[in-house]
Amino acid sequence: MSNITSKALKDKIEQGESHHLIDVRTRPEFNSESIDATCRNIPLNKISTLDLPKESQIILLCASGNRSSRATETLVKQGFTNVYSLDGGLADWKENKLPTRNVKGILPIMRQVQIAAGILILIGTLGSLFLTPALIWLAVFVGAGLTFAGLSGWCGMAILLGHMPWNKKRQACSS
């Protein structure tokens, strides 16, 4: 598996080198902020459906490099021979002060998860103090879900929020 640095990707984009830039984050993540270049959004769970010639130069990215590394492994196992993962993902791209495209009015999905989880935990804990002790289980359930999400990388709340109408706005470069 090969990685590509943010600077090397920027150079490829500026020089117009032939490549396919694919963001493997969820649609809401992609729609809230992406690299300011021609790119496609194919979430990690759908990357195996990629329909390109096996020798195409493919550069995958995500938020931190974790999901794009997993996507790279998937594509290599399918026989793709020229696949790269953006080292450090969008976080590294932004750290290098390279341009991104933001859609105003859409909060990043993880901020939405934090807000929703915080509200549910507050309802559970305060409700258990002032209404009925059984509401503490709401806080326990949300806390367990967040722990599972952190350990596994799979967040059911993020998936659920991703289907909300406010997260359906699309950018021009998404596919």
pLDDT in tens, 72-109: 999 999 999 999 999 999 999 999 999 898 766 677 78
Is residue 39 flagged as an active site residue? no
Q: How far apart are CA 122 and CA 106, in angstroms?
A: 24
CATH of domain 2-102: 3.40.250.10
- Domain limits, the chain: 2-102, 109-167
Residue 143: other Cβ atoms inside 10 A:
14
Residue 172, pLDDT > 60, answer: no
Q: Of all residues in the chain, what percent carry a pLDDT higher than 90?
A: 62
pLDDT of res. 60 = 96
Instruction: Name the catalytic one among 39, 62, 155, 173.
Output: 62
pTM equals 0.68
